[in-house]
Amino acid sequence: MLKVVKFGGSSVASAEQFRKVKAVMEADPARRVAVISAAGKRTPDDHKMTDLLYLVHAHLRYGVPADDILAVLRSRLVEIRDGLGLAFPIEREFDGYAASLSKETGADELVSRGEYFTSRLMAEYLGFAFVDAADVVQFTYEGKIDEEKTYAAIRGAASERGRIVIPGFYGRLPGGRVKTLTRGGSDVTGALAAAAIGADVYENWTDVSGILMADPRIVDRPSSIRQITYAELKELTMMGASVLHEDAVEPVRRAGIALNIRNTNDPADPGTMIVEKVENEEDSEHFITGLAGKRNFTALTLSKRDMEDSQTLIKALQILDRHKVFVEHVTLGLDSFSIMFSTEEAEEDLYEIVAEMKSECHPDKVDIQEKLALISVVGRRMMYRPGTSGKLFAALGDKNVNIRTIKQGADELSIMVGVKNEDFEKAVRALYEEFAG
C-alpha cells in the first residue's frame, strides 16, 4: 500500500498543527510522500502566508517598503521552528531571500516561498527528504503541466530518496523560472505526485471531515458524505459545491486512484472516499449522495410557430457559442425552446444576443427570464428507482416552491430543478429534509 498525503494550509498553520501532521504520518507507514501547503490561518482573522506574500509583491512593485509584512512572515516561521525545536536556520535563509528581493522579483517566485519554507520545516520535522517542487514539477512553454516529465521526476525522487516532502503549488518553466498554479494548487501537486508514483490512495488532509451533503450555510449541520463516485463529484462541483481544486481530480481519476478527504483536527473520522465505483453499497446511509445549487441563471425562451426542424435551435446555440456563453440546460417545447445560462456570463452581451436571435432565427417572440436558481440532487442510488422524482416534486410542492424547469440526465445520476432565486434556500432545505434529513 502506498499513499500520497497532502496537507492544506490550516493543517500546517502552527507548531501545534505540525504535531498533528506528524501523528498522522506516523500512524501509517504507507504514507510515504507528503505534499505541503504554505502555513495558513491559525484563527479566522489570521492571514495565510500566501496572501501576505502577494501583499509583499504588491509593495515591491509600487516601491513601498514591505519590511513589516516580511517581519510577520519571518516570525511565523521562527515560531514554528522554535515550537518544534528544529535546527533549520530560518533567519539566515529568510533574510538572505528577503535581501534578494527587488521590483523585478516575479510574483510567482515570491509567493512560492510560502510553500518552500513551510516544507523545509516539515521535512526536517518528519525526518523526510526535502524535494524542491521546482526540480520535479515541470511546466511546458505554454504554462501547462508537462505530465510526462513531472511524473518521471517525482518517481525518480521518490525512488532515490525514499520518504519525501514536496512543497505544493509551484513548479518550474522550461527556462528555469518558478511558476505557480492557481490558488489552492497544492491539491494539484498532490494529485500529480499520487499519479506519478502509482499510489493506492491520495489523501487530502484539510480542516473538515470530508465533503458535506449540502451547503452548511443553508442547511443546519448537514451530514458528510462517506463514499462518492468521481462522476457524482463532478455533478456536485459543476453545481457549485467547492471541494478541491478543479484540476486535482483528473490525474488521480485517470490513474484509478481513490481520493480520501480527511480532517487533520479529527484524524479518527474516515472522511470522504472518492472512487470510480462504490463496492459495498449497503453501507450507504442516505438515498442521495448530496445536493448543490447555484443562483442567478437566465432563461431565454424563443417561440416560433411551426418550428418543424432543429435549425432554429441550432442557430440559437451557435449564437450563444459565438458569445462564449456556456449553456447549462435546454428545454424543448413544440413551438418553443428555453436555453438556460449563467446570468453573469451573458451580462454584457445579452442585448446583442437577443438582437442576433431575432435577425437570424426569425422568432415570433423572445422572452428573457432572470433570477433563476438551479439545484441538482445527485445520487448513484437513484438509478432505476421509481418514485424519486415524485418525492422531489412533492417536497417542493409542500413548501410552495414552483418548479420552473426540470432535467434528469440519461444516466439517472442527478435530477436538476430550476426555481426562482428567492425560493433557492427554501428548496435546498426541503430537498435535504426529504432525502437526507
How many angstroms separate the CA atoms of 241 and 401, rounded?
A: 22
Helix or strand run (H / E) with residue 293: strand 290-303
Distances (CA, A) of 286 to 58, 151, 209, 377, 393: 48, 38, 17, 12, 19
Residues 91-150 binding ligand ASP (CB under 6 A) are 114
The least CB distance from residue 261 to ligand ASP, in Å, is 14
Task: Please say whether the dihedral angle defined by the alpha carbons of residues 201, 207, 208 and 211, taken in this order, is positive or negative.
Answer: negative
User: Which residue in the set 3, 4, 9, 328 belongs to the binding site for ligand ASP (CB under 6 A)?
Assistant: 9
Show the binding pattern over residues 239-258: x = contacts ligand ASP (CB under 6 A), - = does not. Answer: --------------------
What are the residues whose beta carbons fall under 8 Å from the beta carbon of 117, sequence distance 6 or more?
Answer: 38, 77, 90, 93, 94
- Residue placing its CB nearer to ligand ASP in the complex, 24 or 350: 24
User: Which residue in the set 119, 150, 186, 376 belongs to the binding site for ligand ASP (CB under 6 A)?
Assistant: 186
**The C-alpha cell of 249 is what?**
481530480
Q: Phi and psi dihedrals of 235, rounded to 5?
A: -60, -45
**Are 345 and 325 within 8 A, CB to CB?**
yes
The least CB distance from residue 48 to ligand ASP, in Å, is 5
264 binds ligand ASP (CB under 6 A): no
How many angstroms separate the CA atoms of 419 and 421, rounded?
A: 6
Find the helix packing angle between 147-161 and 186-197, rounded to 10°.
Answer: 70
Residues 378-397 binding ligand ASP (CB under 6 A) are none
- Residue placing its CB nearer to ligand ASP in the complex, 119 or 289: 119
- Residue placing its CB nearer to ligand ASP in the complex, 7 or 337: 7
- Residue placing its CB nearer to ligand ASP in the complex, 134 or 302: 134
The least CB distance from residue 199 to ligand ASP, in Å, is 19
185 binds ligand ASP (CB under 6 A): yes
- Residue placing its CB nearer to ligand ASP in the complex, 167 or 293: 167
The least CB distance from residue 9 to ligand ASP, in Å, is 5
- Residue placing its CB nearer to ligand ASP in the complex, 185 or 222: 185
What are the residues whose beta carbons fall under 8 Å from the beta carbon of 274, sequence distance 6 or more?
Answer: 227, 228, 229, 230, 233, 249, 258, 259, 260, 261
Show the binding pattern over residues 313-332: x = contacts ligand ASP (CB under 6 A), - = does not. Answer: --------------------
11 binds ligand ASP (CB under 6 A): no
How many angstroms separate the CA atoms of 313 and 323, rounded?
A: 16
DSSP assignment letter at 38: P
User: Which residue in the set 171, 184, 271, 363 belongs to the binding site for ligand ASP (CB under 6 A)?
Assistant: 184
The least CB distance from residue 13 to ligand ASP, in Å, is 11
The least CB distance from residue 229 to ligand ASP, in Å, is 24
How many angstroms separate the CA atoms of 86 and 69, rounded?
A: 24
**Are 366 and 358 within 8 A, CB to CB?**
yes
CA–CA–CA angle 80, 82, 83 (5° rounding): 60
The least CB distance from residue 38 to ligand ASP, in Å, is 4
Show the binding pattern over residues 154-173: x = contacts ligand ASP (CB under 6 A), - = does not. Answer: --------------xx----
Candidates 78-86, 181-189, 261-269, 343-351; binding stretch for ligand ASP (CB under 6 A) = 181-189
User: Which residue in the set 38, 213, 291, 431 belongs to the binding site for ligand ASP (CB under 6 A)?
Assistant: 38
Residue 390, SS3?
helix
- Residue placing its CB nearer to ligand ASP in the complex, 9 or 222: 9
Residue 18, SS3?
helix
Residues contributing to the site for ligand ASP (CB under 6 A): 8-9, 37-38, 48, 50, 114, 168-169, 183-187
